[in-house]
Structure 1
Amino acid sequence: MEAERQAIEAVVRDYVEGMVRADATLLRSAFHPDSRIVGHFGPDLQWLSPEAFIAGLQARGPVVAEGEAPVWRLESLDLTGDTALAKVTDVYAGLDFIDYLSLLKIDGRWRIVHKLFHLHG
C-alpha cells in the first residue's frame, strides 16, 4: 500500500512540476491521453484535453524561476484497488487552486484520468 501511495504522489508531483514549468514531457507522463481537465477559469468553463491544457501552459511558459520549488500540497488521498482520488492544493501564477485528480492504474502505471479544478482566493 505504501509503494502505491508513493507512486501516486510521484504522478501528482510530475503533474504540478510539469504545470508550473510548462513541461510537456512531465504532463504527458502524468495524464492519460483520453483524460479531461474541467473547471471554471473566471466565468469560462474549460473542458480540455491534455494536449489543449499543455498547449495553454506552454503558451504562457514557466511560472516559477529555475530552481524554485512549486507551492503545492497533497491534502488527501483515497486509494481503492487500482483507483485513487487525490485532493491537491497548488499555486499557479499567483492563483490558488484546488484540484481533484482521479487516477487509474493502467498497465501497472498510475495515470491521471480526470482533473476537476476550482480557482479560489
Structure 2
Amino acid sequence: MTDSSVSQGVRTAVQAYLDALYLGDVEGFRSVFHPRAQLYSATEGKLVNLDVEAYLDLVASRPSPQEKGNERQDEVLSISVASPTTAHARVKDVYLPKRFVDDLTFVLLDGRWQIVSKVWHFEI
C-alpha cells in the first residue's frame, strides 16, 4: 500500500464520518466506527463516555442537521497518518446551536479505516 493510498483511505473514512453526521445516517456511522469504539467529552466539566451503540441511539433519536434544514458546515482541519495502521483526524462540524471540534483516531483493520475513539468539544 502506497503512502498516497493510505492517506486517501483515511480521507475517505473522514468524509464518510462527516456525511453520516450531516445526514444522521446510523448505518453510515456503523461503516466507519469500530464496534468497540469509545467516545469522550469533558466540555461541561465532567467526563462523558459513550460506546458506539449509545451514540447511535442518540443519533437515531434526533433529527439530522439536514432534516432540520441546517446548512452543512463541516471542515477537515487536519489528517495525520502516523503509521500504516494508525491515523488521526481533527474536524469541525455543527449540530446547531452547538459547534464541535472532533478528534478521531483511526486504525486500519480488515482492510478499512475505522474510528476507535472520538473526543469532542463543543461551544454554543
TM normalised by structure 2 equals: 0.85
Letter of the 1:26 partner, please give it: G
Contact 1:17–1:70 (CA<8 Å) still a contact in 2? no
Between the aligned partners of 1:41 and 1:61, the Cα distance in structure 2 is 22
- Counterpart of 2:89, as a letter, is A
Aligned-residue CA RMSD (Å): 2.1
Among 34, 39, 42, the alignment partner of 1:40 is 42
Partner of 2:107: 104
2:116 maps to 1:113: yes
Q: List gaps (5 residues or longer) in structure 1.
A: none
Structure 2: gaps spanning 5 or more residues: none
> Quick one: distance in 2 between partners of 1:68 and 1:58?
17
Say whether the 8 Å CA contact 1:72–1:89 is kept in structure 2: yes
Structure 1 stretch 71-80 or stretch 105-114: which is displaced more? 71-80
Q: Alignment length, in residue pairs?
A: 121
How much does 1:66 deviate?
A: 8.9
TM-fit CA distance, 1:41: 5.3
Task: Show the counterpart of 1:57.
Answer: 59
The letter of the residue matching 2:110 is D
CA gap 1:104/1:97 in 2 versus in 1, 3 angstroms: same
Tell me how far 1:69 sits from its aligned partner: 6.3
| Alpha-carbon distance in structure 2 between the residues aligned to 1:35 and 1:118 | 17
Q: Tell me the secondary structure at the aligned position of residue 52 of structure 1.
A: helix
- Deviation at residue 5 of structure 1 after TM alignment: 1.6
Distance 1:91 1:47 in 2: 20
Q: Retained in 1: the 8 A contact 2:102–2:120?
A: yes
Q: Which amino acid aligns with 2:101?
A: I
Equivalent of residue 85 in structure 1, options 85, 88, 92: 88
CA distances 1:56-115 after superposition (whole Å, capped 9, x unpaired): 011112122499763211111110221001111111233211111000000211000000
Cα distance between partner residues in 2 of 1:71 and 1:50: 23
Matched letter for residue 87 of structure 1: R
The residue number in structure 1 matching 2:17 is 15
Q: Percent identity?
A: 28
Provide the C-alpha distance between the structure 1 equivalents of 2:42 and 2:61, rounded to a whole number of angstroms: 19
